[in-house]
Structure 1
Amino acid sequence: MTSLPGAAPVARPDDLTSRPVGEATTPAADEAPGGPAAVPAPDWLPEIDYDPAPAGFPADPDTLDTTPLTEGVRPDRRLAVYDAPGGRPLAFLMPTIRGVELTVPVAQREAGWTAVLLPSANRRLAWLPPGGFRTVPLVDQIVVERVPYRLTWYRDGEAKRSWRLSLGQPGQETPLGRTFVLGRTPPPEAVYGGVDILALGSIPDDPDAVPAGLRGAHIGIHTWYHDGELGRSTTNGCIRLTSSGQRLLLEQLRPGTPVVVVDELPTPPPTA
């Protein structure tokens, strides 16, 4: 789509790809002494995929917290996910989404259970009982500030680079809150400048507000064929930066990297 200044959040979900990451992983503990038991999940529960996640999951109480999330979860098998420790099973989290190995950041731990950022939803958590997943370190973080139109890449808590952005136009604002890098996808049209897109776990806050051709797409980080709209609200909800910045993020970031969108940080980070 070239008639709109913002174009699609990401390409079609079947085009998602991921790269080997190579870092060490740690099996999760099989038992959590003293924690509530998990209610068996019926087989008919939905699987969380690229489409919007089922309703009923709890809100992320710290969704605007920019404290880095340093650990991720990788399911080894289909895992039931719950609305609370010892609560109701609502869906299954799969080892992959559209062929991409899934890594979801850990947001909380309580009574032996693990809360992760929910894919294909905004500002929601899913709770996992012990077992059936591995944990991996997460060293990077992306912080997006809507008011100054700025994206900052952090590694191990240290600001590495910052870039000026374009963000979502009125009615299609870039969603606030914590999410993560789901995977990467090839650019569907020439307007993306021939650079891959980072698809995020978040979706438009109002899916009906985006153009019909973009329904079902996720929010993404991508570049554009020109930089004339940086510092403006012109996209369909996506986070748009320069091609050089996008190429660097593609080189450095791995699936599961936490992303948090806020209006503005109290103290601006240094700009490289």
Structure 2
Amino acid sequence: MIERWGRGPLAAVVGVPTLLALALLVGAALRADTPLPGQRAAPPSPTVAAPGEDETVPPAAPAPAGLPVVDYDPAPAGFPADPRPLDVTPLTEGLTPTRKIAAYDAPGGRPRALLAPTISGVELTMPVVERRTGWTAVLLPSASRRVAWLPQGGWTPVALRDQIVVQRRTHQLTWNRHGKPVRSWPVSLGLPGQETPLGRTFILGTTPPPEPVYGGVDIFALGAVPDDPDAVPSGLKGAHIGLHTWQDDDTLGQDVTNGCIRLTRTAQQTLLAEIRPGTELVVVDALPTS
């Protein structure tokens, strides 16, 4: 698990019970002038059907003063649940705020928080999960299985070509591109009581490994947080779920982590070279059988 982002050097990270603690995503991990791996041109602004004669766009209420900004700490309450948390249909478009924008609990609903272009200096890209006339829903960062509704304006679309699917029963991670499987690897997952959260989340960014036990390979921080914050060690309060390697592969296929997803160094290096922030990662017990 990755504890929090900071303004200074990396503080630390965790992966198994009773071991380590602390970790931050640092702004230097992703720079605005650094091309993202596998990035391609963003599509045109999403096409939204114009309202018919009997249809109106729900208006966006002005954001009140003092509205909190979503950061690496747990997101504010009041956002709705993801309507399809276990849907493995790839999410192929994301969006990045171009300024601080209000995030609502429904189209025309109540503004609950602000979303900024970055979190601790790292560009924020969120997958789009639903559209209604004049409104777009995205996966909310720093929360599990929650969405935020955004009115038009103040954001730009981003093409997403990849998806990561994790199956808890088989301890298998599969990387898909354009809806087709590319590679699969075995993984270690969360121990009982600290299970790797089910549902759709996404890659927030990367951070260097703070300790040799992480195998010397950069770590992905996810948007998801533990399902039971009180179950994790005290040093991990406010932590995010991470995707990272370990010093050995002895526990692959087992439930041994604090909720993080652990895979081989070769697999992580492959994903780091190919996966951009905003890429969807969905955790299911098992894929549906046809």
Task: Tell me the TM-score range normalised by the shorter chain.
Answer: over 0.9
Structure 1 counterpart of 2:184: 162
- What is the identity, as a one-letter code, of the residue corresponding to 2:171? Y
Tell me the alpha carbon deviations over residues 47-73 of structure 1, each in whole angstroms, 9 at most, x when there is no partner.
000000000000001000000000000
Structure 1 pair 248/8, CA: closer, same or farther in 2 (3 Å)?
farther
Query: Structure 2 residue aligned with 1:25, among 27, 42, 48?
Result: 42
Q: Percent of aligned pairs with the same residue?
A: 62
SS of the residue corresponding to residue 45 of structure 1 reads: coil
Query: Structure 2 residue aligned with 1:12, among 24, 27, 36?
Result: 24
RMSD: 2.2
Q: Does 2:121 correspond to 1:99?
A: yes
Structure 1, unaligned runs of 5 or more: none
CA contact (8 A) 1:28 1:135 kept: yes
Query: Structure 1 residue aligned with 2:233, among 200, 211, 233?
Result: 211
**Correspondences of 1:73-84 after superposition (within 5 Å):** 73-84=95-106
Query: 1:112, CA displacement in angstroms?
Result: 1.7
Tell me the alpha carbon deviations over residues 157-213 of structure 1, each in whole angstroms, 9 at most, x when there is no partner.
010000001000011100000000000011111110110000000011111211122
CA contact (8 A) 1:30 1:130 kept: no
Structure 2 counterpart of 1:187: 209
SS of the residue corresponding to residue 106 of structure 2 reads: coil
Q: Quote the Cα distance in structure 1 between the aligned partners of 2:47 and 2:83.
A: 27
Q: Quote the Cα distance in structure 2 between the aligned partners of 1:246 and 1:104.
A: 21
SS of the residue corresponding to residue 266 of structure 2 reads: helix
- What is the identity, as a one-letter code, of the residue corresponding to 1:23? R
Structure 1 pair 26/7, CA: closer, same or farther in 2 (3 Å)?
farther
Query: 1:12, CA displacement in angstroms?
Result: 1.9
CA contact (8 A) 1:122 1:202 kept: yes
> Normalising by the residue count of structure 2, what TM-score does the alignment of the two structures yield?
0.87
**Correspondences of 1:83-94 after superposition (within 5 Å):** 83-94=105-116
Structure 1 pair 75/233, CA: closer, same or farther in 2 (3 Å)?
same
Structure 1 counterpart of 2:268: 246
Query: 1:214, CA displacement in angstroms?
Result: 1.9
Query: Structure 2 residue aligned with 1:64, among 86, 104, 126?
Result: 86
* Larger displacement relative to structure 2 (18-27 or 63-72): 18-27
Query: 1:5, CA displacement in angstroms?
Result: 5.2
Structure 1 pair 128/9, CA: closer, same or farther in 2 (3 Å)?
farther
Task: Give the count of matched residue pairs.
Answer: 268
Q: Quote the Cα distance in structure 2 between the aligned partners of 1:3 and 1:241.
A: 11
- What is the identity, as a one-letter code, of the residue corresponding to 1:87? G
SS of the residue corresponding to residue 29 of structure 2 reads: coil
Q: Does 2:76 correspond to 1:54?
A: yes
Q: Quote the Cα distance in structure 1 between the aligned partners of 2:119 and 2:143.
A: 14
Structure 2 counterpart of 1:230: 252
Q: Quote the Cα distance in structure 2 between the aligned partners of 1:263 and 1:9.
A: 27
Q: Quote the Cα distance in structure 2 between the aligned partners of 1:6 and 1:220.
A: 17
Q: Quote the Cα distance in structure 2 between the aligned partners of 1:37 and 1:71.
A: 24
CA contact (8 A) 2:93 2:157 kept: yes
